[in-house]
Each structure stands twice: as structure tokens, then as C-alpha cells.
Amino acid sequence: MFDLILRNGRVVDGTGNPWYRGDVAVKDGRIAAVGRLEPDAVKVIDAEGLVISPGFVDTHSHSDLMLMVEPHAKQKIMQGVTTEIVGQDGLGEAPLRDDVVDEWRKYLSGLNGDPAIDWDWRSLGEYLDRLEAAKPSINVASLVGHGNVRLLAVGMENRKATSGEIEEMRELVVLAMEDGAYGMSTGLIYPPCVYADASELTELCKVVAEKGGVFVVHM
């Protein structure tokens, strides 16, 4: 017996095919069957006139901090969003150092908010652990921010990075990718990302590609 059956909905399965009318069964929190199903379930919901679809992915989210204090994420779940990609615009929450965390927190407050929490992480892995501990109701994937690695290697200075600083940034990106980043983002209208030249971005792109990640550019 299924736990739940959604009956008579317009099923949009995410493959690109036209919608079709059908039922979707759920067992132990997972989709167990799709098609024309017998109503053998603990609960049956009539979805006539409604769409049944996979959850939507918010590919540009700024919930990096708010998911820690509002883990139910009702504003997203009620819109059908089940996955968010954080660490956007090159302005993520990690990596950081003790000497820059207060400045960076203030800088990001207008973008990601500033809930009353302790910023007790420094690496991306520590940030992801803190986020996971909040048990958000949605899936979360994180990019590492170009601004973060440039902040640690160069600071907020408006200048080209030296070869040594680029190598330091490369190493920071490697560590972040190994910690769980799906790739890297940059925002070429935001300091300090805007101060990078093409050679710096190329070198960081190489690292991300070598690690099988994506490089997201916001201009």
C-alpha cells in the first residue's frame, strides 16, 4: 500500500514531453509509481485541474543565511521550489578568516540579510555543516564565491592580482571544491570580483573545470 496517491493530475515529468493525465504514488517519502494507479493508499488527493511536477530548482538564490533561521523555507516550498543554489554573485559566506569576517558580514547584509546568528565557520565545509545542522526542508547546493577567495588573497584592493596571489586563490578554490562546492561564481559588477582581469578568471576557471564544477558569471 502506498502512503499517498495524487490522482488525476496533469503530470509534467521534467523530460520535456507534453503533460499527461495520471497519478503519482508516494511511499516512504519517495515517488514509488507513476501512471494510472489503483487507489490503494493511506491518503488519496484529487489533483484534478492541478499540475503534478518535480520540484523546481532556484538556480540563483540568496538564502545562504536565512535557511539557518527559517529552515522550513515556506516561501520557497509553497512555490514548488525544492532545491536552491547559494553562493551567488561571487559573494558567498565562505571561505573567510577571523580578520575579515566582520567586514564581510556587514558587506553582505544588504544581499543575504543579517540574521542574529554566530558566524562561527571559516571554511566552506564548516559553513555547509552549519547549514546542514539547521535541517532545511529543501535541498541546497553551494558555489564558492570568487569574491571570498580574492578577499583572502588580495583584499578589497582595486588592482591586478600577482602570480602568487592567483596561486593562493587557486588553492582556496581547490579546498572549497573538495569541501563540497559545486563550482564557483563571480559577479563582475561587485567588488572585489570586479577588480579581476581575464588572466585571473581564466586560471580559476581551469581549477573549477579540473574538479568537474561549473563557473557561473554574473555581469
**Tens digit of each residue's pLDDT (9 = 90 or more) over 80-105:** 999 999 999 999 999 999 999 999 99
**Tens digit of each residue's pLDDT (9 = 90 or more) over 202-212:** 999 999 999 99
- Indicate if 27 and 90 belong to the same structural domain: no
Percent residues over pLDDT 90 in the chain: 95
Averaged pLDDT of the chain = 96
What is the H or E stretch that residue 21 is in?
strand 20-27
Q: Are strands 41-46 and 2-11 parallel, antiparallel or unpaired?
A: parallel
Residue range of the domain that includes 69:
56-218
pLDDT number for residue 38: 85
Q: How far apart are the first and last CA of the chain?
A: 51
pLDDT number for residue 39: 79
For 3-55, the DSSP string reads EEEEEEEEE--SSSPPPEEEEEEEETTEEEEEES----EEEEEE-TTSEE-PP
Q: Distance (Å, rounded) from C-alpha 211 to C-alpha 171?
A: 12
- Indicate if 125 and 48 belong to the same structural domain: no
pTM: 0.87
Query: Per mean pLDDT, which range of 12-16, 111-115, 123-127, 200-204 is the poorest?
Result: 12-16
What the block records as the C-alpha cell of 194 is 570586479
**Tens digit of each residue's pLDDT (9 = 90 or more) over 123-137:** 999 999 999 999 999
- Domain of 115, CATH number, reads 3.20.20.140
**Tens digit of each residue's pLDDT (9 = 90 or more) over 141-183:** 999 999 999 999 999 999 999 999 999 999 999 999 999 999 9
pLDDT at position 219 over 80: no
- Indicate if 64 and 129 belong to the same structural domain: yes
Using pLDDT thresholds of 50, 70 and 90, give the confidence band for residue 40.
Answer: confident
- Domain of 34, CATH number, reads 2.30.40.10
Contact assessment for residue 119 and residue 96, using Cβ atoms and an 8 Å cutoff: yes
Q: How many Å is the Cα radius of gyration of the chain?
A: 21
